[in-house]
């Protein structure tokens, strides 16, 4: 399954792959893409699709979570989880069984993280045009809390 995450701040988007662990769940993986919030939605969507393509399945994870989290924050230019959750919105995207599924989240801050809001998910066909991906991404980001 191809997976990526897009987090929007007031001044930028952070996009990265999410690779699947053998025991389930996932970890943020390269590429870590940071682009300006003034970028075109086509540029954002293109980078999101590139990040999805780079995701991997069954990655070996030997890094303790605290170390991973510190490295992750450094990779996206942040110093703390507080910075990550401060005023940001996030959307998880994955491709499965011929569909691209966009899952908006609710930002619960440093205590709860980004929680999927399954009631507001949107699915499109995997072969959708870049324009449809752009339009869906705009709509799903509006659904984030």
Domain extents in the chain = 2-143
pLDDT mean over 18-40: 91
Query: DSSP of 33-87, one letter per residue?
Result: EEEETTS-HHHHHHHHHHHHHH--SS----S-HHHHHHHHHHHTT-S-HHHHHTT
Q: Give the CATH superfamily of 2-143.
A: NMB0488-like (3.40.1590.10)
Predicted local confidence at residue 113, as pLDDT: 92
Q: Given this model, what pLDDT does residue 142 score?
A: 95
Q: What percent of the chain has pLDDT over 90?
A: 79
- In this predicted structure, what is the pLDDT of residue 64? 82
Q: Indicate the pTM of the whole model.
A: 0.92
61 pLDDT band, cuts 50/70/90, is: confident
Computed over every residue of the chain, the mean pLDDT equals 93
């Amino acid at each position: 399954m191809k997976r990526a995450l897009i987090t929007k701040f007031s001044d930028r988007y952070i996009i990265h792959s999410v690779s699947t662990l053998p025991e389930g769940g996932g970890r943020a993986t390269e590429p870590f893409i940071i682009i300006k919030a003034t970028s075109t939605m086509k540029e954002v969507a293109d980078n999101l699709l590139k990040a999805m393509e780079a995701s991997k399945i069954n990655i070996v994870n030997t890094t303790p979570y605290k170390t991973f989290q510190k490295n992750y924050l450094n990779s996206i230019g942040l110093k703390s989880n507080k910075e990550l959750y401060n005023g940001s919105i996030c959307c998880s995207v994955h491709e499965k069984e011929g569909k691209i599924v966009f899952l908006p989240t609710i930002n619960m801050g440093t205590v709860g993280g980004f929680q999927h809001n399954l009631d507001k998910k949107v699915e499109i066909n995997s072969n959708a045009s870049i324009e449809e991906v752009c339009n869906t991404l705009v709509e799903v980001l509006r659904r984030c809390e």
